[in-house]
Amino acid sequence: MNPETARRFGGEVAEGILDWYGREGRLFPWRRVGEGRDRRGLPLHDPYLILLSEIMLQQTQAARVVEKLPEFLETFPNVERLASASKADLLRAWQGMGYNSRALRLKAAAEIIVNNFNGEFPRDFKQLRSLPGIGRYTASAILCFAFGEQIPVVDVNIARVLSRIFFKCYTPLQRFREDDLYDLDATLIPSGESYRWHQALMDFGAVVCTARSPSCSSCPIKDYCISATFPLGHSLFDVQSIRKEEPSFRGFPRRIWRGRVVELLRGAERGMRVAEVMESLVDSTQPLSELDRRELLAILSRLREDGLVEITGVVREGGLKEFDVVRLPT
């Protein structure tokens, strides 16, 4: 980082981004636009609402979360209802969100909040970090967005924006050390504006300083960004990123097959035999080979290990059999 840039221009950068946010900021149901309560009576800064939105947004597009969050809140309006829900009901309510393990971690966190903290969200960073599924960013987001703490919050968008402005980035996806970015962010937070500042940074990264096609020419703070211009006229988009390879089966990542299994079981309250699951997952015009069967059995076994399905039947040497019954967990 160029400390001189941060010291000299931090105020101008913050002012420019907050001015942009005042004109262009996005509206989301989990954002506080003032004190008071929403149509369901929930405080607009309710930590439960913040927790739900942050977990949902981790690996799901914001537009999908906007659609899904109200439905989820109708079923699980508070942390107590979520804690007492069956895993099967929770996974059905999570339909369409993907990465179903998030739902189970969310329930586990709710159970601890209810059982260990009398239903009150802890306001201590270490206690929040100890909850299942809550890392450094989510704990910081709850403290900032729900409780108004003046603390640094760094998600992937914020990391990208701060890295590009105050460090020299040479590739579109380049970011710098998380600790350095948190330290930098702590020096930039305008007094009393932590909530708006971090919402503004996230929107700025999503709309202007995007991952692959940043709008450098129209950026309102381009005069302060040390990555805005490059030697020989290069831009952030000149370097192609390398896509990470995922374990796959029949041309699709295994995570897709995992999601398909859970989706099948959402509509089968009594479960399905393993053989039925396998036959339903693949094109009937392409018979399952022995290798296919072993791969699908391995996927089911991993889902069971992760707590996303239950297998009924005798536990035996050699693992799952095709006549065993698989269903959502209770």
What is the pLDDT confidence band of residue 243, given thresholds at 50, 70 and 90?
low
- Region 167-190: what's the mean pLDDT? 84
Q: How much of the chain exceeds pLDDT 90, in percent?
A: 57
**In this model, does residue 314 exceed pLDDT 50?**
no
Domains of the chain: 3-26+152-238 (1.10.1670.10), 47-146 (1.10.340.30), 248-327 (1.10.10.10)
- pLDDT tens per residue across span 251-266: 788 889 999 999 999 9
Q: Virtual CA dihedral for 212, 217, 223, 229, nearest 10 degrees?
A: 60
Exposure string (b/e) for 290-317, b if CB count within 10 Å is 16 or more? eebeebbbebbeebbeeebbbbeeeeee
Backbone φ, ψ for residue 309 (5° rounding): -140, 160
Placement of tokens 């329930």 in the chain: 107
Lowest mean pLDDT among 92-106, 180-194, 228-242: 228-242
Mean pLDDT along residues 289-299: 85
Q: For 107-166, how does the pLDDT look when each residue is reduced to its tens digit (9 = 90+)?
A: 999 999 999 999 999 999 999 999 999 999 999 999 999 998 999 999 999 999 999 998
User: Directed axis angle between helix 47-57 and helix 101-117, to 10°?
Assistant: 160
Tell me the mean pLDDT in the region 30-58: 74
First CA to last CA distance, the chain:
50
Q: Would you state the pLDDT for residue 99?
A: 92
The residue type of 282 is: V
pLDDT value, residue 37 = 55
Residue 125 C-alpha from the chain's centroid: 19
pTM: 0.84
Catalytic residue numbers read 54
Q: According to the model, what pLDDT value does residue 244 have?
A: 64
> Which stretches of the chain are assigned E, i.e. beta strand?
248-249, 252-253, 272-273, 310-312, 325-327
Distance CA 90, CA 79 (A): 13
Query: Is the model more confident about 290 or about 161?
Result: 161
What value does the mean pLDDT of the chain take? 86
For 60-101, the pLDDT digits (tens) are: 999 999 999 999 999 999 999 999 999 999 999 999 999 999
Share of the chain above pLDDT 70, in %: 83
The pLDDT value given to residue 42: 46
Predicted confidence band at 239 (pLDDT cuts at 50, 70, 90)?
Answer: very low
